[in-house]
Amino acid sequence: MFIFGRTNPVRRLCHYIVTLRYFEMSILVVISMSSIALAAEDPVWTNAPRNHVLRYLDYVFTGVFTFELVIKMVDLGLLLHPGAYFRDLWNILDFIVVSGALVAFAFSGTKGKDINTIKSLRVLRVLRPLKTIKRLPKLKAVFDCVVNSLTNVLNILIVYILFMFIFAVIAVQLFKGKFFYCTDESKGLEKDCKGQFLDYDQDEVAAMPREWKKYEFHYDNVLWAFLTLFTVSTGEGWPTVLKHSVDATFEDTGPSPGYRIEMSIFYVVYFVVFPFFFVNIFVALIIITFQEQGDKALSECSLEKNERACIDFAISARPLTRYMPQNTQSFQYRMWKFVVSPPFEYSIMFMIALNTVVLMMKFHGAPDFYEAMLKNLNIVFTTLFSLECVLKIIAFGPLNYLKDAWNVFDFVTVLGSITDILVTEINDRLLNLSFLRLFRAARLIKLLRQGYTIRILLWTFVQSFKALPYVCLLIAMLFFIYAIIGMQVFGNIALNEDTAITHHNNFRTFLQALMLLFRSATGEAWHEIMLSCLSRRACDERSGSEGKECGSDFAYFYFVSFIFLCSFLMLNLFVAVIMDNFEYLTRDSSILGPHHLDEFIRVWAEYDPAAWYVHWNRTDVL
């Protein structure tokens, strides 16, 4: 900045503050609080009391972020030397967010300024959670993987757009101006679509005006063709578009059912090229990029990925101890030998299988004697499983029994089943705890510990879950940003049960916005929600706006970008993580892997319960 030298006391003070141990943690806390405040705003009633409180809190948060920005600028310098503030993209993002907030505050205090300008600047606040990415190394690694995936996907994206353009041009040539219709289906021309007609709705008859309309999705130009084809590629609403294409006749003429059935070939070819081919290429590239990132992190290590995984497992592994009574002549030892014997285990597995069959026999409308039989059988099985718990507690002792996670699971399952029986016997209406019946089905989970292959798959499944938190956090950030933007832009649209913005599906609150986005991410009628959020929509009474001033054509970009980022990119990270952990399935089974070591620990514990040693004359059975 040409003001503070390296030895200047002010610059040294700023450096001291920035490098404080808890400085970054404090900024993370402020970012979290700021994000919660954004989610708590009322998008409909701008002058709501809570919005006034949150506005003052926003002043505080912006002040903290401004202070962080200034001291980092002083500490790092601005631009002209390596390591300067504006040479880091994350710092540039911080500067844009803080500057946008300060300009929004300046505009909000000036009358006559465009309210949309202020709203646009305030929307920049949703980028604040992105500040956490550079502060969490593992989250930054996942984000880098996404960015690198976009870099690798860029080439295939160019080919994707090229092919989309070809199909869009063909669609315009085939269907331009042919997606018009009259609300009176008997009229096929605009000049005849005038006056009124009788609309028969079940037993009611009403006179309705004839209107000449265009279908929501059409091919009148290349841009609309792009949007329509993208919607079709997501698998949403394409049967309706196909029907309109098959029924299309001539330009500026209404439809005729089944007029050109051969037009369906266009969509068959399109589905083969795009949803079946290009989308799967996206998935493959993301998986490859994710694996390359992992290999790049290990590039400086002389060990292979699998060898390093085995060493990491061996370093963190702990011996598996199983309690065994010391006195071989005691009753407890004989009981222990009985409960750990294979016949006892197989008997328990057989009872679980029988219990499963009994659970499957339940159906609606069963006779009373049949329900009574199933009820008594459930009591019998619960008694047998309770007896198993009692025998194991006697054999191992209460403390040693509860050291094993499976024993804890068995104990909780038995307690839940007993509570379910007692509640049922007392009265279901007085105390409705129907969820306790889940404990009956929970016994099936005990079967997972039987069988080598199942245990290996379960172990890998658990390892995959350990790698998912930061992927989930990144996806949560995406949902958070889009939810807040949706609340700010579409939150004041009036609810209408005839559209996709209803009492159960809207942007009125943060939780409802999240549910709407989750529904869109699954591909469920996202295009209908997009159409309901376009401009010239009716406003809610509390918004202070009159007429059809709400909504925005920004909905096109909002929903298309969300579907692309979420469905085509982010959710495929789950596949990448799982495939990375299941890599051993495509490897030679004779190659040692961490899943083999986990199984080795389990088998060793069968011959060495105390995790001490195995006598030399028993090593041949290992």
Q: What angle do CA 572, 239, 167 make, to 5 degrees?
A: 70
The DSSP code sequence of 286-342 is HHHHHHHHHHHHTTTSSS-HHHHHHHHHHHH---------S-TTSHHHHHHHHHTSH
The whole-number pLDDT of residue 225 equals: 93
Alpha helices (runs of H) in 491-525, residue ranges in sequence order: 510-521
Which residue, among 93, 44, 41, 42, has the nearest Cα to 72 in the 3D structure?
93
- Domain 9-135 and domain 331-450+601-607, same fold? Reply is yes
The whole-number pLDDT of residue 331 equals: 87
What are the start-end ranges of the E strands in 439-532?
A: none
Alpha helices (runs of H) in 115-249, residue ranges in sequence order: 115-123, 137-175, 222-233, 238-247
The whole-number pLDDT of residue 496 equals: 87
Which residues, given as ranges, of the chain have pLDDT below 50? 112-114
CA–CA separation, 184 and 199 (whole Å) = 8
Q: Rounded to whole angstroms, what are the CA distances from 468 to 143, 280, 406, 572?
A: 13, 21, 24, 12
- Tell me 421's DSSP state: H
What CATH number has the domain spanning 137-179+218-318?
A: 1.10.287
Q: Which helix (H) or strand (E) holds 578?
A: helix 572-581
Q: Where are the domains positioned within the chain?
A: 9-135, 137-179+218-318, 182-214, 331-450+601-607, 455-587
The whole-number pLDDT of residue 229 equals: 92
Any idea which architecture 9-135 has in CATH? Up-down Bundle (1.20)
Residues 607, 621 contacting (CB under 8 angstroms)? yes
Which residue, among 470, 429, 454, 449, has the nearest Cα to 293 in the 3D structure?
470
Residues 381, 353 contacting (CB under 8 angstroms)? no
Question: For the purposes of burial, counting CB atoms within 10 Å of the CB of 305, is it exposed (0-12), middle (13-18) or buried (19 or more)?
Answer: middle
Which residue, among 321, 336, 313, 315, has the nearest Cα to 612 in the 3D structure?
321
Residues 474, 139 contacting (CB under 8 angstroms)? yes
Is 331-450+601-607 a domain of CATH 1.20.120.350? yes
Specify the 3-state DSSP secondary structure of 588: coil
The whole-number pLDDT of residue 113 equals: 46
The whole-number pLDDT of residue 115 equals: 52
Close Cβ partners of 461 (under 8 Å, ≥ 6 residues apart): none
pLDDT digits (tens, 9 = 90+) for 33-53: 888 888 888 888 878 888 888
CA–CA separation, 240 and 228 (whole Å) = 11
pLDDT digits (tens, 9 = 90+) for 538-592: 888 887 777 777 888 889 999 999 998 887 777 777 777 777 766 655 555 556 6
Close Cβ partners of 604 (under 8 Å, ≥ 6 residues apart): 319, 320, 614, 622
Residue with tokens 């631009």: 79
The whole-number pLDDT of residue 321 equals: 62
CATH topology of domain 455-587: Helix Hairpins (1.10.287)
